[in-house]
Amino acid sequence: MADNVRELSWRRLLAYAGPALPLAILTLPFYVMVPDFYARDGGIPIATVGAVLLAVRIVDAISDPAAGWLADRYRPAFGRRRLWTALSAIPLAGAAALVFMPPDRPSALYLLVAATALSLAWTAMQVPYQAWGAELSRSYAGRTRVAAFRESFTVAGTLLALVIPAAMPALGHEGPRAALHAFAILFGIGLPLAAFLAVSAVPEPAPRRLAAKVTLRSGWAALRRNRPFGRLLLAFLVNGLANGLPATLFLAFVGDRLGARDAAGPFLVLYFLCGVAGVPFWLWLARRTSKHRAWCAGMILATATFGLALFLGKGDLIGFGAVCVLTGLALGADVVLPPSIQADVIDIDTAETGAERAGLYFGLWALATKLALALAVGIAFPILGAAGFDPGAGIVTEAGLTTLAVLYAGLPLALKTAAIALMWRFPLDDAALAAVSARIDARPD
């Protein structure tokens, strides 16, 4: 029996996308500001900060797939995705307050405990929320539309997160600590409200199949046989590390390599504004070619731009502005297209097992995301410390600045090239997805 599913109205898509905005307000400060704050203002050695955040991501190695598996396995009447979204919002807001509002001289243990609590609560919300989006449409183009709404809210939330530190001095509060306090308050109010609106306005689609539960052994075997998923996951991990390195090192690169710390905020705003501006083009290109080729085109643009960034030095602000514009345009492809492709490869699993396991798949997806960002910190900070770059200790050498440039631009260039090679001949496009959907429809009820 064929599935006839109406695409969601734009009003319901807006409601679904709402939590992405406060989640983005959390994301940018945690991955960009928190490492620098705890190392520079908190007085924790930069290598220790890197080790602590890497340890937190090791916890995620268990929590992300586990949350996805639980969100797939149990189907409460309220909705297996909506329930997790509703219940996790307040604990996540509380954990964010612990990380963003630390004591004056936090210890490494404090950072470890607070960041671990944040990571676990984040997983409990993010994985089911992403899986919910994958199930809201079953068409090749419709999934891109859902991802475009959600990720546009993500970029809007990121822009808001950039404006907050710039606005704090006008309110009589200066410094990163005041900005982090403001983030904690705004997130604590915004996330529960957005989660309530989403679960109230957006229903979960009925399950496609009522198959017997997949055993752990057979389910793992099916996942391993899903070669497009494995290929996509590896490409996403490699590309995520390529994006995580400049995200982690952005403040240091602008402040110490370019000598323009006060320009960091405007450069980030320019970058994300270009990200929003680029989304319609990547959606158009995906319709004209395919999602994976459009994503590759975005990565090619970013790769060429990182080649320019590698040679920038003190005072090269115009050149770095051009880097922000071009990599910002490429950002639209990075945020919209991979999650849409991920929803497509989950159908291969559904065709084989008869079960809908988007939670597990997005748990692995979230693990790859966090692992990439953790590797960025775990790789970059110890190397910088060994090369003579530890601003918290007042150590900034020429060799350290050169190493900073290589880690910020040179290594991402190589990593994105590898991700392009993985995705260029990706086997799943509109026609291939139609064939997979026909296999699902042909399964006996």
Judge residue 269's burial from the number of C-beta atoms within 10 Å of its C-beta, 0-12 exposed, 13-18 middle, 19 or more buried: middle
Domain ranges of the chain: 15-442
Half-sphere exposure of 419 (CA within 13 A, CB side): 31
Q: pLDDT tens for residues 44-61?
A: 887 888 888 878 877 877
How many CA atoms lie within 13 Å of 187's alpha carbon, on the beta-carbon side? 35
Do the Cβ atoms of 320 and 309 come closer than 8 Å?
A: yes
Q: Inform me whether the pLDDT recorded for 5 exceeds 80.
A: no
Rounded CA-CA distance 157/267 in Å is 16
User: Can you tell me the distance from the alpha carbon of 430 to that of 47, in angstroms, rounded to the nearest whole number?
Assistant: 46
pLDDT > 70 in the chain, percent: 96
Pick from 35, 68, 40, 38: nearest CA to 54: 35
Helix (H, G, I), strand (E, B) or coil at 310: coil
* Whole-number pLDDT of residue 444: 65
- Residue by residue, DSSP assigns 396-424 as E-HHHHHHHHIIIIIHHHHHHHHHHHHHT
**pLDDT at site 202:** 92
Give 363-395 pLDDT, tens digit per residue.
Answer: 888 788 878 877 888 888 889 888 888 776 778
Assess whether pLDDT exceeds 50 at residue 1. no
> What's the average model confidence in pLDDT over 62-67?
86
CB 125 within 8 A of CB 84: yes
Rg (CA), the chain: 21
283: number of Cβ within 10 Å: 22
Task: Write down how long the chain is.
Answer: 445
Q: Which CATH superfamily is domain 15-442 in?
A: MFS general substrate transporter like domains (1.20.1250.20)
**Phi then psi dihedrals of residue 82, to 5 deg:** -65, -35
**pLDDT for residue 227:** 93
| Residues 247, 324: Cα–Cα separation, whole Å | 12
pTM: 0.80
Structural contact between residues 158 and 272, judged by C-beta atoms closer than 8 angstroms: yes
Q: Is the dihedral of CA 196, 151, 435, 284 positive or negative?
A: positive
